[in-house]
Structure 1
């Protein structure tokens, strides 16, 4: 199965990194199932200060996965509210990351 791997950057509100990481220690099962049904294969997140770096692997692209998620009823309102409280949408720094180099070394 061929997949699409994309990088994405978001910013946290000042001081939110620890709570954000704690919240991600357990992803709600309903949310995980919905993401999987909508095309998610793997999602990894790194943090550097208040910057989050996401590596998102999907069946056919992050944008398509998000489109599918948007057609579903809200899966977990409490999760959505918690994450929205951590992320700094006003910073204008949420953006896809352009791929510079990709190689598998033997």
Structure 2
């Protein structure tokens, strides 16, 4: 299992629309994402900047599997109207490089 961090950026003025669209992600898309090996996907937004954390078995495989999935094709077309990024869903990217992490405390203690 890998954690992949991603950064995308919204087109100015599309913040509310982006939030609204993500309030109702189609069940078919969620099913396809899980079938492609994703265990969790979180998105945070700071103004126009979007930060994603993806827990996935194999990120490149996931991207390749979703690239031609009908639910994802429609979703990516919709995202293209909102995002200030061109993404061909090739699966060749590797996400953001990890710079630092605080490991969990021994025994699972958090303090």
Counterpart secondary structure, 2:95 = strand
**TM-score normalized by the length of structure 1:** 0.81
Counterpart secondary structure, 2:23 = coil
Pairwise mapping of residues 1-106 of structure 1 onto structure 2 (< 5 A)?
3-60=1-58, 62-72=59-69, 74-75=70-71, 78-89=74-85, 96-102=95-101, 103-105=103-105, 106=109
The alpha-carbon distance between structure 1 residues 95 and 53, as it changes in their structure 2 partners (threshold 3 A), is farther
Partners of 2:4 and 2:94 within 8 A in 1: no
Larger radius of gyration: 2
The alpha-carbon distance between structure 1 residues 13 and 95, as it changes in their structure 2 partners (threshold 3 A), is farther
Distance 1:68 1:95 in 2: 16
Give the deviation of 1:76 after TM superposition: 5.4
RMSD (Å), alpha carbons: 2.1
**TM-score normalized by the length of structure 2:** 0.78
Partners of 1:5 and 1:58 within 8 A in 2: yes
Aligned pairs, number = 99
Distance 1:71 1:28 in 2: 16
